[in-house]
Amino acid sequence: MVNLNLQGRNALVTGVADDGGFGWAIAKALKAAGARVYLASHPRVVGIVERILRRGQNAEARALPYGLEGEFQPDGLFGCDVEYDRFEDIPEEKRSTKAYKEGDVSIAGAMAQYQALSEGAPLDILIHAVAFSPEIQKNHLETSRSAYLTAQSVSAYSLVAMTRAALPLMQGRNASVVGLTYVAATRMTPGYGGGMASAKAALECDARALAWFAGEHGVRVNLVSAGPFPSRAARSIGDIQAMVDHTAARSPLRRPITAEEVADATLFLCSPLSSGVTGSILFVDAGFHVMNAL
């Protein structure tokens, strides 16, 4: 029997805003493997995710992968804005808006929510599938300091902050943290602006540092570097389909990747099958990263 059974394991998945991104595919794969899955979504999209989860509609989106019977329902869903470590960090004017006034939607608040909903269960898996730049459509030269720093804060530093907050719950569990990166971290990728390439470079550096510090507690930290995929976030970059087609034509496999392939690789990194793997970047990009083709 192959050891991909995650029964009895608990997963916290960030970055689910709808049923069209990597976070959703990963959450479903973890559930299909038997894990209990908790979603920590941006406070402004919790309502959207709730609608997708409503039974009686969207059954196709919720269907479990791997030909399994049944549909995806998380074991908990709550708001988390990863830009804020603690409640006090959330600006007053934001705290009073509809999405933020339900409670503490900081990272600390999300961890408390997880503990309350899971009745104090330890945490085995943390998925970081979050990225944002307010100026994603501006090229690197035109990007403002403020947008650059926001991209770093939301897309990279949040992995450090979330790992730090989760670590006390993960110790002694052979736990696994997985984040999502993109080849633009190391190769100039026109069109991937707003400071996002720098944020991914920082994320990759951070994952190596976190692998060292979390490794002391037996916790692994890895990244999946995905090929371009037309998620909601990617569509805001601009002509994502042109990026997908361009990459597909120049990849060894001559085709685009799917969200399910990213989820499969993530599942591997969360499972005992990868127990000796940490600090790694696993490319799920149809091989594009080995090419020297423009």
What does DSSP say about strands 220-226 and 176-181: parallel, antiparallel, or unpaired?
A: parallel
Q: Kindly tell me which of 20 and 32 has the beta carbon lying closer to ligand NAD.
A: 20
CA distances for 104 relative to 44, 57, 177, 198, 268, angstroms: 14, 30, 23, 29, 32
What is the phi-psi region of residue 257: left when phi exceeds 0, alpha when psi lies from -120 to 50, beta otherwise? beta
Residue 194 near ligand NAD by CB under 6 A? no
User: Which of 12, 178, 226, 286 contacts ligand NAD by CB under 6 A?
Assistant: 226
Only one of the segments 61-69, 124-132, 215-223, 271-279 lies at the binding site for ligand NAD (rule: CB under 6 A); that segment is 124-132
Q: Which DSSP letter does residue 226 get? A: E
User: Which of 107, 159, 180, 265 contacts ligand NAD by CB under 6 A?
Assistant: 180
Give the span between the Cα atoms of 181 and 160, in whole angstroms: 14
Residue 131 near ligand NAD by CB under 6 A? yes
* Total binding residues toward ligand NAD, as defined by CB under 6 A: 27
Q: Kindly tell me which of 58 and 171 has the beta carbon lying closer to ligand NAD.
A: 58
The residue to which tokens 């100026």 are assigned: 135
Residue 129 near ligand NAD by CB under 6 A? yes
What the block records as the tokens of 152 is 């770093």
Q: Kindly tell me which of 173 and 260 has the beta carbon lying closer to ligand NAD.
A: 260
User: Which of 16, 27, 35, 219 contacts ligand NAD by CB under 6 A?
Assistant: 16
CB 166 within 8 A of CB 126: yes
The residue to which tokens 């999405």 are assigned: 99
Question: Can you give the binding site for ligand NAD, defined by CB under 6 A?
Answer: 15-17, 21-23, 42, 45, 80-83, 129-132, 154, 180-182, 226, 228-229, 231-234
